[in-house]
Amino acid sequence: MACRFGLGSVTYAQAAVNALSRRGIRSRLVKLAARESKRGCAYGVETDCNDMKKAARVLTGAGISFKEIK
């Protein structure tokens, strides 16, 4: 099952994909739906829900701010 992080800009979403890839976590860059982004027009990364905790640690370690989308 796929889960998502919200990153804001496409630049940070791409940075997140790269950071996760370097640590062996598969993810893909996505544009968030309107319900997933309060201010409209945002990007995120989608990954396996089982990888979310590890992915969160990787992103935090890379200095990338994110929001977990429920």
Partner 1 sequence: MIYLDNAATSFPNPESVIKAVADAMYTVGGNPGRSAHKLALAAAGEVYVTRERAAELFGARPENIVFTYNTTYAINNALKSSYIYGTHVLISDLEHNSVLRPTAAVTGNSFASYSMFDSALELKGEERTHAIISSIRSKMRPLTRTLICTARSNVTGTPMPIREIGRYCRENGLFFIVDGAQSAGYDDINIERDNIDVLCVPGHKGLYGPSGTGMMIFSTSAVLSERIGSFIEGGNGVSSLDVNMPEALPEKLESGTLGVPGIMGLGVALKYVSDLGINRIAEHDSSLIQKAYMSLCFNKKLEIYSYEPHSPILLFNVAGKDSEDTAAELDSRGICVRAGYHCAPLAHKRASTPVGGAVRISVGYTNTEDEIDEFIKAVYDITGK
Query: What is residue 10's three-state secondary structure?
Result: helix
Q: Is residue 10 a contact point for partner 1 (CB under 8 A)?
A: yes
Q: Which amino acid is at 19?
A: A
Of 2, 19, 21, 24, residue with least CA distance to 65: 19
The binder of partner 1 chosen from 5, 8, 20, 46 (CB under 8 A): 8
Q: Is residue 31 a contact point for partner 1 (CB under 8 A)?
A: yes
Q: How far is the CB of 16 from partner 1 (least distance, A)?
A: 11
Going by the DSSP 8-state scheme, the letter that residue 1 receives in this structure is -
Residues at the interface with partner 1 (CB under 8 A) = 8-12, 14-15, 18, 29-31, 37-43
